[in-house]
Chains A and B, each alone.
Chain A
Amino acid sequence: MKRSALFCILTDIHLWVPVVVLILGTALLMTLR
């Protein structure tokens, strides 16, 4: 994949919303188990 495409992915809000929710959800799961 070209660097510019990687840059577009990493600066996409559509990526970071699910990533942050996934991190928080995983942290919650690990806390509850």
Chain B
Amino acid sequence: MSSNATAAPARSTLSLHKLGVFCGLAAAVWLGSAEAPTKLVNEGFSPFLISMGMVMGAFVARWTVPTLLKGTRFLYRDLRDKPHLIVWALLGGMLWAVANTLTIFAVRNVGLAIAFPLWNTNSLVGLLWGCILFKELRGSRTRDWVKVLGGAAAIVFGAAVLAIATAQQHAGAPGRAAIGIIAALGAGVLLGTMYIPYRKAYISGMNPLSFVTIFTFGELGTILTLGWIFYGGAGNLVAELHRARPMLFWPFLGGFCWVIGDLFQQYAAKYLGIGRGIPLSNTNQLWGLAWGALVFSEMAGLSFSGKVLIIAGSLIMIAGAVSISMAAPPPSELDNWRLAMSRECDRYGLDSKNVAAVVQGDDPLADDPHYRRWWELLIMLTACAIFVWLAIGTRAQHISVSLPWMIVLMVGTLIPLLVCGTLLWRRTRFS
């Protein structure tokens, strides 16, 4: 929590605030880039089915990446020490699944231009919960309040400008605008509330990698239940997935990228708090826009005023991100963060010394050698086999892409992964 935390020997001394900012920005890059594979689906499948494919890909990734980075023994020990947090991890996954389905209804009824800014208010909802329930921003100076609130508002406003500028057409169904607006606002509230489980887990000393391995069960279970209801039974759902088999590789790949972005977002929520971390990672729209405009030529017919709006919206978003990045919590606010942590330790009988170390990124277990188990290899091989199997059966999608720009953006996506991954490892050992 402290921005000048004393680092353990052989660890980087990077401040946790800076680390959190890097994680938030890397999250934005990967969450935005996760949209790219789904753009390769052009055969008229329902958005819900594409979303379900992404969740399935995310399920695979949420087991593979933590196993690769920390090993199952570490994850098991972490979950065993804080079993009560399993409830919140499942709850977080369920909130995400319902919210994501609501966004589909919102886009169908009012179009992306109106729906996106409305559900992007989730960062403001998260900020509110962070302040009320976890004492974030409490004890902070007026200028920090202005930087964080102003930055978050600027990111939401920038998102609105970008959404309006990039709307190719009004996709709304006549007479159903109210339904779409309610769905988008509902999604915003659900997504903003989803950050309560995130923050609770991290001030209790849970590792983000352990959290996501449970989160994904809530996510997958809920989306499958919703699919079962929407398609009128398991048989219809399976038939629909079978029909979508030739395109499933792309949403799976998107889900995998999305998990990497989400993991960075989890670390941002841990080291910055949800009030600062979530608005930063919500700048992902910039990267989704870059993929759409540069690789898929989606802005080819855009008017001059549209281009001006895109530049203005992007600059507003960047200004918001810079503002939040410069609002490191002062000691008086960090005292309140510690109070929120103490509440969890007292309530659930956690070892406060140990939790404080983990919250500072110095997990005592992180430097323990972790021995690989045979089932970890099995998990990796299964994940690889699923992707290879899906790739083999994938039908070619006839969409023109700009290969040079694709290479540039892929390199631009990999650099934050390597840089931020290295920073996380050197400073916290992924704790």
Contacts and interface: CB of A to CB of B under 8 A. Distances in A.
Given A21-B190, A25-B98, 18 more contacts: A5-B84, A8-B347, A8-B348, A14-B88, A14-B133, A15-B91, A18-B92, A18-B95, A18-B194, A19-B91, A21-B95, A24-B186, A25-B95, A26-B98, A28-B183, A32-B105, A32-B182, A33-B105
A9 B186 contact: no
Interface of A: 1, 5, 8-9, 12-15, 17-19, 21-22, 24-26, 28-29, 32-33
Contact of A1 (B84, B95, B187): B84
Interface in B83-105: 83-84, 87-88, 91-92, 94-95, 98-99, 101-102, 105
Nearest to B200: A14
Contact of B95 (A5, A9, A14, A22): A22
Most chain-B Cβ atoms within 10 A of its Cβ — which of A12, A17, A29? A29
Nearest to B179: A32
A5 B84 CA distance: 7
B129 interface: yes
Interface in B130-154: 133
A18 B88 CA distance: 9
A17 B92 CA distance: 12
B1 interface: no
A18 B189 CA distance: 10
Question: Majority SS of interface residues in chain A?
Answer: helix
Most buried by B among A1, A15, A17, A25: A25
18 contacts: A5-B83, A5-B348, A8-B84, A8-B347, A14-B88, A14-B196, A18-B92, A18-B194, A22-B94, A25-B95, A25-B102, A25-B189, A28-B182, A29-B101, A29-B102, A29-B186, A32-B183, A33-B229
A12 B183 CA distance: 28
B7 to A, nearest CB: 30
Interface string B182-203: 1100110110011011001000
